[in-house]
């Protein structure tokens, strides 16, 4: 079985024009976490799946994920991704949009190489397409939140379910489908992906404020700079007194010349209301739900330990 990097090199070999494919190679060959293809392989391994059948599905989902990153960075005006200039900063927005579009098409072609019964390939392709649509829905909700004075926490959670968690869920379920998992296990895998994705994103919200920028791979405080209504911000409003609430709202309605001063002011309020602890309790709640999902999967306990390790690592990650 080829590594995923070898697959990407083969997919992109001798393709022209270079200004379309070089940005795709640039983002695919960066040292990302590779969480999504790992989840596809983990789920398939639970049911003794054939790695050669799984690799095309794993690559396709990683390609879909990177497509979303290319376009998200344009919308967020993000300069850095994985410690490197974002695609649109290295080239330009027009090239980045086009390369992202091409990446989705390449991902679909890769998915169709899966050597499984046609009904299985069709089921996975349907999951793939639905995820792409749901991610767009989540992104639009995220954009809508920018102009809303107040976002209920439950609406934020639904947004991150669509924008982040459905991808995890689809990867795990698709890995199970390739390996012929039973219906109850497939549902448990999907639920695991949702709960894991929610925990992952809440951890990301915490890291945006409290991470070590040397490890994080992108600028700490980016969400605060952009006035993003993350779980940490919304929870802080819930915990704050009236004076703190007014100060937070005022800080998140401006783009000051001194970004660092704004970050420090916001962080001091976050610290005062213990929002990090409150958010980590919520992450722990989703992590416990993950463990319950794992228990429902009909596979060998020894093999399920890799999923337990995944949950624990994501719960305590620092980047």
Q: Would you say 108 and 60 are in contact if contact means Cβ atoms under 8 Å apart?
A: yes
State the angle between helix axes of 231-239 and 242-251 in degrees (0 to 180), rounded to the nearest 10. 150
Does residue 133 have a pLDDT over 90?
A: yes
Helix (H) or strand (E) holding 85: strand 84-85
- 61: confidence class by pLDDT, cuts 50, 70, 90: very high
- 318: confidence class by pLDDT, cuts 50, 70, 90: low
Dump pLDDT digits (tens) for 282-299: 999 999 999 999 999 999
What's the pLDDT score for residue 31? 74
- 257: confidence class by pLDDT, cuts 50, 70, 90: confident
State the Rg of the chain over Cα.
20
Q: Would you say 37 and 62 are in contact if contact means Cβ atoms under 8 Å apart?
A: yes
Mind listing the domains of the chain with CATH numbers? 10-315 (1.10.600.10)
């Amino acid at each position: 079985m080829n590594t995923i990097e070898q697959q990407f090199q083969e997919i992109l070999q001798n393709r022209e024009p270079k200004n379309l494919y070089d940005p795709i190679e640039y983002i695919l060959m960066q040292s990302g976490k590779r969480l999504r293809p790992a989840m596809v392989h983990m789920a398939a391994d639970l049911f003794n799946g054939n790695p050669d059948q799984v690799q095309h599905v794993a690559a396709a989902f990683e390609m879909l994920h990177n497509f979303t990153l290319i376009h998200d960075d344009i919308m967020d005006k993000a300069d850095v991704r994985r410690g490197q200039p974002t695609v649109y900063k290295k080239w330009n927005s027009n090239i980045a949009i086009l390369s992202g579009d091409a990446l989705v098409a390449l991902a679909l072609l890769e998915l169709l190489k899966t050597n499984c019964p046609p009904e299985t390939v069709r089921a996975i392709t349907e999951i793939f397409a639905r995820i792409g649509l749901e991610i767009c829905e989540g992104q639009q909700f995220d954009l809508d939140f920018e102009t809303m004075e107040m976002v209920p926490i439950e609406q934020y959670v639904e947004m991150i379910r669509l924008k982040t968690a459905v991808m995890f869920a689809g990867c795990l379920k698709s890995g199970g489908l390739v390996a012929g998992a039973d219906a109850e296990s497939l549902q448990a895998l999907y639920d695991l992906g949702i709960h894991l994705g929610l925990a992952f994103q809440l951890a990301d919200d915490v890291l945006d404020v409290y991470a070590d920028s040397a490890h994080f791979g992108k600028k700490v405080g980016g969400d605060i700079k952009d006035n993003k209504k993350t779980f940490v911000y919304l929870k802080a409003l819930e915990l704050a007194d009236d004076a703190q609430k007014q100060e937070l709202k005022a800080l998140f309605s401006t783009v000051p010349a001194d970004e660092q001063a704004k970050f420090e002011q916001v962080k001091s309020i976050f610290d005062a209301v213990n929002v990090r602890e409150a958010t980590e309790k919520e992450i722990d709640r989703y992590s416990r739900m993950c463990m319950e999902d794992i228990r429902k999967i009909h596979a060998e306990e020894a093999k399920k330990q890799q999923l337990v390790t995944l949950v624990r690592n994501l719960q305590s990650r620092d980047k």
